[in-house]
């Protein structure tokens, strides 16, 4: 029963749609609005509705550009740097320890970045995570510095 109805509906939609496909471009060509006849509009919408619904369901939502472009210093810190800089392990200056950070911050961000990417005494290059970009290391330093001033 439902198969017959659906088949019927498809045939009806198609027979409605075909003449409309021929008319719609002509109507659209005359003005900047698409076909304005409400009945034509409704018939077109009705005919294309199932297709539209399928498309909406299958297209994955793109991630916002801003989120993928910006490096999140806090998550880099939590993922790599916190192992030492949250606990003070290996003599690392702890985040929030203003006295430990003050003389380091004085060196400037460029020196801190150089030490963090290249390694410095017990500080391993990139905190031991070679996959981190300079941008990611810099973002993590900025996060640590912002919490230690």
Under DSSP, is residue 40 helix (H, G, I), strand (E, B) or coil?
helix
Task: Report how far apart, in Å, the C-alpha atoms of 63 and of each of 60, 66, 76 are.
Answer: 9, 9, 19
Among residues 47 and 85, whose Cβ is nearest to ligand HEC? Answer: 85
Tell which positions 72-91 bind ligand HEC, by CB under 6 A.
Answer: 76, 80-81, 83-85, 89-91
Tell the smallest beta-carbon distance from residue 67 to ligand HEC (Å): 20
- Taking CB under 6 A as the rule, does residue 92 contact ligand HEC? yes
Between CA 117 and CA 75 the distance in angstroms is 17
Residue 27, Cα to own-chain centre: how many angstroms? 40
Between CA 33 and CA 64 the distance in angstroms is 31
Binding mask 104-133 for ligand HEC (x = CB under 6 A): x--x---xx--xx---xxxxx-xxx---x-
Which residues of this chain interact with ligand HEC, rule CB under 6 A? 76, 80-81, 83-85, 89-93, 104, 107, 111-112, 115-116, 120-124, 126-128, 132, 137, 140-141
């Amino acid at each position: 029963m439902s198969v017959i109805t659906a088949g019927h509906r498809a045939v009806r939609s198609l027979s409605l749609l075909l003449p409309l496909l021929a008319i719609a471009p002509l109507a659209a060509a005359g003005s900047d609005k698409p076909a304005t006849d409400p009945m034509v509009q409704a018939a077109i919408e009705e005919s294309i509705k199932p297709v539209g619904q399928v498309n909406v369901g299958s297209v994955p939502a793109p991630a916002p550009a801003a989120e993928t472009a910006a490096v999140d210093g806090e998550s880099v810190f939590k993922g790599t740097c916190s192992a030492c800089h949250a606990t003070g392990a290996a003599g690392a200056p702890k985040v929030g320890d203003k006295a430990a950070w003050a003389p380091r911050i004085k060196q400037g961000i460029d020196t801190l970045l150089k030490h963090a990417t290249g390694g410095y005494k017990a500080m391993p290059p990139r905190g031991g995570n070679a996959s981190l970009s300079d941008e990611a290391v810099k973002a993590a330093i900025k996060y640590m510095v912002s919490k230690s001033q």
